Amino acid sequence: MDRDVDVAPPLSESPAHGRTPSAAHSDGSGGPRVAVRVASHALIAGLPVAVLGVVAIVLGPEISAGLDSRAVAAWRTVFTAIVIQGVPFLLLGTLVSAAISAFVPAWVFTRVLPRNPALAVPVAGVAGAVLPGCECASVPVAGSLMRRGVTPAAALAFLLSAPAINPIVLMATYVAFPGNPWMVAARLVASLLTSVVMGWLWLRLGREEWLRAPKGPTGHTAGASRAEEFRVSLQHDFLHAGGFLVVGAAAAATFNVTVPHSVLRLFSDSVWWSLPMLGMLAVVLAVCSEADAFVAASLTGFSPSARLAFMVVGPMVDLKLIALQSGTFGRAFALRFSSATWVVAVLSSALVGWWLL
């Protein structure tokens, strides 16, 4: 199997990389001890790979057959798809956030953003337009903004607006609703409105203790270079957020595979029910914000306002985002903030939909 060949090089050459610094570092108590340590560590690191490789080779066909139950296969495909789709954007987000942590001095933000937090919120909301990508990217960036001393309300407004109003997403919306540019305008206005309102709500009602200060390896190690700091925080943030992305993807895939879409059509007749229904659908489907306009366009039979609600809620609240946020800001925060955002998003899409559509 060629797959094992892919794995082998890092394993076989990495010890050679590592030996020099570590051996030099060791207390010099002799060759045998070092050899034993190398062997034991190589064993610890290599064992899971060897076991998994052997299992995959020997039992591969049987495992595949066992997983071949068609529902399980569909679940695995959707799960894998959400993770794979999310990884590049997550990586982009963690790159930006690590760069902010390591290279951008804190005074930049205090100078760019107005002193008054109530004014900083709308400015940060509009600034969301510059981060291209979907919602996976915005969580780590918002976390690093907070770490850099940006007022949480402004960072949260940025967190909500960035995945919804950036040019890529608005372009996708324009393509998905041909001949209906008002949908693009309504999405922009409703998303911005929601993020600004949520920022102000946080200023008014938010409590410091709900928000676990985003932690990470920011203990500016003495002697560590900027580049080293960048690498460590990139690695930490990516692995951390990646783990939560997996949790969110598993939850979203479960709903995607088990809940038939026809259930939702039951509510398409009622104007009042259809808004919260599509709002809920956006939460459980966890479609990436660059694609949700196409999904919304395919939901024929629902009122334009309900489809708008789907597109406004989707980038701000969904299962994978809740998982990511609880990883970065704590569960107490994620649950409160997400439910409040959901209500505000549905209300503002109702308002904007009634006004524009």
Partner 1 sequence: MKRNVQVLLLLFTGVGLLHISLLTDLYLRYVRSGLRPALIASGVLLIVLGAVSAARDGFPFNRPRTDDDHGGHHGGGHDHSQGPRIAWLLYIPALTILFLAPPALGSYTAARDEAKAKAPTAGDSLFSALPRSGIVELSLNDFSSRAVWDTDGTLKGHTVRLTGFVTPGRHGTWYVSRLAISCCAADATVRKVRVHGAAAPPADAWVTVTGTWHPTGKVGTDDASPALDATSVKRVPAPKDPYNDAVATRPGR
Distances from the Cα of 176 to the Cαs of 63, 130, 169, 311, in angstroms? 40, 22, 10, 12
Q: Looking at beta carbons only, is 79 or 202 nearer to partner 1?
A: 79
For position 99 contacting partner 1 by CB under 8 A, the verdict is no
Chain residues 101-160 in contact with partner 1, contact rule CB under 8 A: none
- The span from the CA of 124 to the CA of 121, in Å, is 5
Q: Which of 154, 196, 292, 310: binder of partner 1 (CB under 8 A)? A: 292
Q: Where do runs of H (alpha helix) occur along the chain? A: 2-25, 31-66, 70-103, 106-112, 117-127, 135-147, 152-165, 167-176, 181-205, 226-258, 262-265, 271-285, 292-298, 304-313, 319-329, 331-356
**How many binding residues for partner 1 (CB under 8 A)?**
84
Chain residues 301-320 in contact with partner 1, contact rule CB under 8 A: none
Binding segment toward partner 1, per CB under 8 A, in 136-144, 238-246, 268-276, 330-338: 238-246
- The span from the CA of 313 to the CA of 290, in Å, is 13
For position 331 contacting partner 1 by CB under 8 A, the verdict is no
Closest distance to partner 1 from the beta carbon of 302 (Å): 12
- The span from the CA of 325 to the CA of 248, in Å, is 10
For position 77 contacting partner 1 by CB under 8 A, the verdict is yes
Binding segment toward partner 1, per CB under 8 A, in 79-87, 200-208, 268-276, 340-348: 79-87
Q: Which of 174, 182, 200, 294: binder of partner 1 (CB under 8 A)? A: 294
Distances from the Cα of 298 to the Cαs of 91, 176, 277, in angstroms? 30, 9, 15
Find all residues with CB under 8 Å of 7, minimum gap 6, and list them: 49, 53
Q: Looking at beta carbons only, is 71 or 116 nearer to partner 1?
A: 71
Q: Which of 114, 118, 174, 217: binder of partner 1 (CB under 8 A)? A: 217
Chain residues 175-214 in contact with partner 1, contact rule CB under 8 A: 176, 178-179
Q: Looking at beta carbons only, is 40 or 339 nearer to partner 1?
A: 40
For position 332 contacting partner 1 by CB under 8 A, the verdict is no
- The span from the CA of 275 to the CA of 303, in Å, is 8
Q: Looking at beta carbons only, is 150 or 249 nearer to partner 1?
A: 249
